[in-house]
Amino acid sequence: MKASKTQTEGQYHRTGLFEEIISRLKDLNIDLSNVKRDDIAGVDEFHVRGAQVSKELAESIDISNSKLLDVGCGIGGPSRMLADEYGCEVTGVDLSREFIRTATKLSELVGFSASTSFVCGDATELPFKDQAFDVVWTQHVQMNVSDKLKFYAEIERVLAD
C-alpha cells in the first residue's frame, strides 16, 4: 500500500527543526552571525548517501546558471549547494511546512536567500506556471509518491522546452 500525502508529511515532520539546528550550532561554538554552508553540512542533506550523491548527480549534467526546481527539497541542502556551486536560481518545493520553514531560515542564515526560495506544495500538483524551469531536480522523493504518472507529468509541465 502506498503512503498518502498526510502519512508522508507525518512521517517526516519534526517540529522546531530550525531551532534544533541553531541549538546544535551554538553547542559547537559556531558564530551565528557568520554561519557558512559547510557549518550546516552535517544536517543539510539527510537523504541516502547525503551530499556525495547530490554532487555526483550535479556533475553528471549541465546545470550551470539554470533556473532549477528541486522537487522534494527537504530542508534545502541540495538547493543551496546548486545555488552556491553551480550558480543556479533554485526554487525548492516540499510537502512539509516545517521543512520549508527550516529551508528558508537556513538559506537566510548562510546567505543564500537571494538565490534560493522554498514553497510548500505537492509534487503531483506543482504550484508553478508551465515551462517555468530549465531543470527539474529530484532525489529520493519519488518513493513517497503513489501517482508516479501524475508526478512525472507535472515535472514535464513545468520544464521548459
Q: What is the CATH number of the domain that holds 58?
A: 3.40.50.150
pLDDT at 59: 81
User: Is residue 98 pLDDT above 90, yes or no?
Assistant: yes
> Count of domains in the chain?
1
pLDDT at 26: 94
User: Is residue 10 pLDDT above 60, yes or no?
Assistant: no
Range with lowest mean pLDDT among 6-15, 18-27, 85-94: 6-15
Over the chain, what is the mean pLDDT?
88
Output helix, strand, coil percentages for the chain, rounded to the nearest 5: 50, 15, 35
Total-model pTM? 0.86
- Mean pLDDT across 54-68: 86
Q: How far is CA 144 from CA 7, 8, 86, 88, 161, in A?
A: 10, 7, 28, 26, 27
Q: How far is CA 108 from CA 32, 103, 149, in A?
A: 12, 9, 35
pLDDT at 4: 46
User: Is residue 110 pLDDT above 90, yes or no?
Assistant: yes
How many other CB atoms are found less than 10 A from the CB of residue 69?
A: 24
User: Is residue 3 pLDDT above 50, yes or no?
Assistant: no
Q: How far is CA 25 from CA 16, 21, 103, 135, in A?
A: 14, 6, 16, 33
Is 8 or 78 the better-scoring residue by pLDDT? Answer: 78
**CB contact at 8 A, 40 and 23:** no
**pLDDT category of residue 46 using cuts at 50, 70 and 90:** low
User: Order of strands, edge to edge, in the sheet holding 67-71?
Assistant: 116-120, 89-94, 67-71, 135-138
Between CA 71 and CA 82 the distance in angstroms is 13
User: Is residue 122 pLDDT above 90, yes or no?
Assistant: yes
**CB contact at 8 A, 158 and 129:** yes
